[in-house]
Structure 1
Amino acid sequence: MHIALVAGEPSGDLLGSGLIAALKQRYPHARFSGIGGAGMVEQGLYTWVPLERLAVMGLVEVLRHLPELSKIRQQLYQQYSADPPDVFIGIDAPDFNLGLEQRLRARGIPTVHYVSPSVWAWRPWRVHKIARAANLVLTLLPFEATFYEKHAIPVSYVGHPLADLIPLQSDPAAARRSLDVGCATAGLIVALLPGSRLGEVKRLGTLFLDTARWLAVQRPDLSFLLPAATPQLYEFLTHLQAERAPALPLTVVRGRAREVMAAADAVLLASGTATLEAMLLKRPMVVAYQVAPLTAWLARRLVTVAHFSLPNLLAGKELVPEFFQEAATVMALGPAVLHALNDVGARQMLMAEFTALHLALRRDADQQAAQAIANLVETSSQPDAL
């Protein structure tokens, strides 16, 4: 059994590592190849190129890296044409994976796309490309499966692995003890998460530090934690703090973003998977999102949903404040964070909403996804199945 997987960013590596572990239970002698990060490699994936070469954010940014991305995709196609896998699983990264899936499917290789592109939010015409590319779509969110069912595309809602991994009740005191930083034992803490990529952090890092400085004036009892996803980001953020906010009671933490959020009383963060983690940890949050100007211009004309953060999308209403592009300012973010800290009644209502969403997403996703893929492989192995 040969199983191919391609993940395009760290969140995809998290999904892929859990999926490989679940697939190994069904196919203990399978070999796994493709592109993934440390988690997938640890589970036995042979990776052709580092995952970081695929982790590019935004329309404009992708254009700059298009020649390299196209070369990698062509190399994968040639490799899997010569050594066909029993199934190919594209994990997220739709602009990279869907084209590869379509070409491999045309050669008779069963294909799965794991994590729905946001076709329900913008560029809805992509659903036709997905239909041509994937024998099966695995979705993490329930409303996504409904969308595909309406378009008669084979789909399985598997839930989200993070909902399985994160307990229904978090323990802020234990997280503070685990972090073992001076500011984490007393007073109120605000976590700052400007992103996990350097491009994101360059756009939001200064804004978040300036917001923290404003908050510290309003509430001198506050302290701040800022996790750095990589050594490069740690160096960048420590220098940025020294230049921008040397007197701020802030600790830059190497990694451990989930523990930082669990330890916090409120979270200021960039839109993305981290907003889902903060929701599952039941942390009040304020969400900001900034991209390249051309990307923002295009998004405003193509996006068809009212919200962009995952808690709000899941709830179908605004549970947490979110600020896009030029609306993300110190005087917008700061008061929103203060409200999250001060309004006890709103906080209790938010916790109840977050708990209900957590339960809806908790479905043993790794096993659900592995079983759906196994069903596809077994069906596809029958004569004329494809």
Structure 2
Amino acid sequence: MANSDAAPLIVLVAGEASGDNLGAQLITALRQRIPQARFAGIAGSRMVAAGCEAWERMENLSVMGLFEILPHLPKLLRIRRQLIDRVLAERPAVYVGVDAKEFNLRIAPRFKEAGIPTVQYVSPQVWAWRQGRVHTIGRAVDLVLCLLPFEKPFYDSHSVHAEFVGHPLADVVPMELSAATARYQLALPEKGQYVAVLPGSRQGEVSRLSPDFTQTMAWLVRERPQLRFIAALASEPARRIFEEALERATIGTPALLDRVTLINGHAQTVMAASDVVLLASGTATLEATLVKRPMVVAYRLGMLTSFLLKHLKLFKAPFFSQPNLLAGRELVPEFFNAEVRADVLGPAVLQQLDRADRDELVQNFATIHETLRRDASARAADAIVDLLVKRRLSV
């Protein structure tokens, strides 16, 4: 095993906030098993705080969509070239792609061919998008670490080495979260009904969803003037985008502005303080599931990306939100592109707010939580160490 005798180098590459969280927890777990290890790669603030040397900042990989990536292509190609050269020169003990699948799986074959063990932490949604890619993934990496239970059987059926480790988020989110406590933490009045609004973490996503989300909030205020809203914004740029959309939405509904509280970050607390969540599709839908709040999920892509998905039928899964995928049926409503508008989202939010089977929904969420709660970071670290031990014994 390269670099194994003194201070083995472990390279990790993350591309967005959720990957930064996963990477930081994985570094902590790996350090417990390999205390002398060094960590480096493309990292966010949490990975850096956990001890990862940032060869490049994670934010430079945060691009969403097939065509939305084009303006950033020169920068991404430069980062890719420099990373390949450095990894091949330093020959780490293992290369771990932490999510950022489009980036990591394109370069992992170079490292695998060079004899560097390669791991993909977080499976691509290959079971949903172009299932034939599973063979490409098998050729690209030595191990896929799956966060969702149905992913490992899919890989097993195609003879690709994969392990289900559970989801780290399920390990850290309590089984029960009090709305009253969350409201106290956010300095909100305890009484009243709250709608949490989370328009996403990527700027492009926030730009696409904020107009419809704020118009939905205006629609809801007109229908139920007593409703309050808490918006969790992932960054200052996201907050500015959302504030501009909110200002436009209040032109016809000035009462809205007095009903909205904007919060920087603290997404989990904002969800816990709410009675229902309106949010962008993605990891946040899993977090809302673990917090056990009813939700309405929206997914909007750029025009060219959407055209390809529709006409080439690239998406194979019956759902795109995490609770529905994990349950194998529709637990919560989800809306895509043209359906993402106030006259659709508003009634859906009210239906979730008033649903008579709320207790049954919460129990379904609890079952999902228990399934995913596996001490994921420890299991992922164990699987990586096991891969390295087997690799060392085979050479």
Specify the code of the residue in structure 2 equivalent to 1:207.
D
State the partner residue of 1:262: 272
The percentage of counterpart residues that share the same residue type is 50
After the TM superposition, which residues 258-337 of structure 1 pair with which residues of structure 2 at under 5 Å, given as runs?
A: 258-300=268-310, 301-337=313-349
State the partner residue of 2:211: 206
TM-score by length of 1: 0.97
Preserved CA contact (<8 Å) 1:158 1:364: yes
Q: Please give the secondary structure, in 2, of the residue aligned with 1:19.
A: helix
Confirm or deny that 1:76 pairs with 2:61: no
Preserved CA contact (<8 Å) 2:165 2:379: yes
Instruction: Choose from 51, 74, 99 the match for 1:67.
Output: 74
Residues 133-182 of structure 1 deviation map (CA, whole Å, 9 limit, x = unaligned): 1100000001111110000111110000000000111111111000114x
* Partner Cα separation in structure 1 for residue 225 and residue 192 of structure 2: 10
Instruction: Choose from 139, 144, 151 the match for 2:158.
Output: 151
Confirm or deny that 1:349 pairs with 2:369: no
* Partner Cα separation in structure 1 for residue 81 and residue 269 of structure 2: 39
Alpha-carbon shift at residue 106 of structure 1 (Å): 0.5
* Partner Cα separation in structure 1 for residue 38 and residue 126 of structure 2: 32
State the partner residue of 2:49: 42
User: Would you identify which runs of 4 or more consecutive aligned residues in structure 1 move more than 4 Å?
Assistant: none
Specify the code of the residue in structure 2 equivalent to 1:265.
D
Preserved CA contact (<8 Å) 1:237 1:252: no
Instruction: Give the count of matched residue pairs.
Output: 381
Alpha-carbon shift at residue 379 of structure 1 (Å): 1.1
Preserved CA contact (<8 Å) 2:212 2:341: yes
Instruction: Choose from 250, 253, 275 the match for 2:263.
Output: 253
Residues 166-199 of structure 1 deviation map (CA, whole Å, 9 limit, x = unaligned): 0111111111000114xx4220000111111111
* Partner Cα separation in structure 2 for residue 41 and residue 140 of structure 1: 23
Q: Please give the secondary structure, in 2, of the residue aligned with 1:382.
A: helix
Alpha-carbon shift at residue 308 of structure 1 (Å): 0.6
Long gaps (5+) in structure 2: 1-7
Instruction: Choose from 96, 100, 117 the match for 1:89.
Output: 96
Residues 316-375 of structure 1 deviation map (CA, whole Å, 9 limit, x = unaligned): 1100000000011211111111011112x3211111110111100000000000000000
Preserved CA contact (<8 Å) 2:207 2:242: no
Q: Please give the secondary structure, in 1, of the residue aligned with 2:67.
A: helix
Confirm or deny that 1:374 pairs with 2:379: no
* Partner Cα separation in structure 1 for residue 296 and residue 245 of structure 2: 22
Specify the code of the residue in structure 2 equivalent to 1:216.
V
Specify the code of the residue in structure 1 equivalent to 2:103.
F
Alpha-carbon shift at residue 2 of structure 1 (Å): 0.8
* Partner Cα separation in structure 2 for residue 126 and residue 314 of structure 1: 22
State the partner residue of 2:4: none
TM-score by length of 2: 0.94
Residues 72-106 of structure 1 deviation map (CA, whole Å, 9 limit, x = unaligned): 11111110111110000001111110122110010
Instruction: Choose from 214, 218, 224 the match for 1:219.
Output: 224
After the TM superposition, which residues 22-41 of structure 1 pair with which residues of structure 2 at under 5 Å, given as runs?
A: 22-41=29-48
* Partner Cα separation in structure 2 for residue 337 and residue 327 of structure 1: 14
* Partner Cα separation in structure 2 for residue 273 and residue 205 of structure 1: 18
* Partner Cα separation in structure 1 for residue 241 and residue 308 of structure 2: 29
Specify the code of the residue in structure 2 equivalent to 1:269.
L
Specify the code of the residue in structure 1 equivalent to 2:319.
H
Specify the code of the residue in structure 1 equivalent to 2:352.
A
Q: Please give the secondary structure, in 2, of the residue aligned with 1:49.
A: strand
State the partner residue of 2:5: none
* Partner Cα separation in structure 2 for residue 177 and residue 129 of structure 1: 50
* Partner Cα separation in structure 1 for residue 394 and residue 276 of structure 2: 56
Specify the code of the residue in structure 2 equivalent to 1:98.
L
Specify the code of the residue in structure 2 equivalent to 1:294.
L
Preserved CA contact (<8 Å) 2:218 2:249: no
Residues 196-235 of structure 1 deviation map (CA, whole Å, 9 limit, x = unaligned): 1111111110111111111112112100011111112223
Preserved CA contact (<8 Å) 1:204 1:290: yes
Preserved CA contact (<8 Å) 1:35 1:50: yes
Specify the code of the residue in structure 1 equivalent to 2:366.
T
State the partner residue of 2:245: 240
* Partner Cα separation in structure 2 for residue 237 and residue 186 of structure 1: 26
Specify the code of the residue in structure 2 equivalent to 1:288.
A
Preserved CA contact (<8 Å) 1:158 1:365: yes
Aligned Cα root-mean-square deviation (Å):
1.1
Q: Please give the secondary structure, in 2, of the residue aligned with 1:129.
A: helix
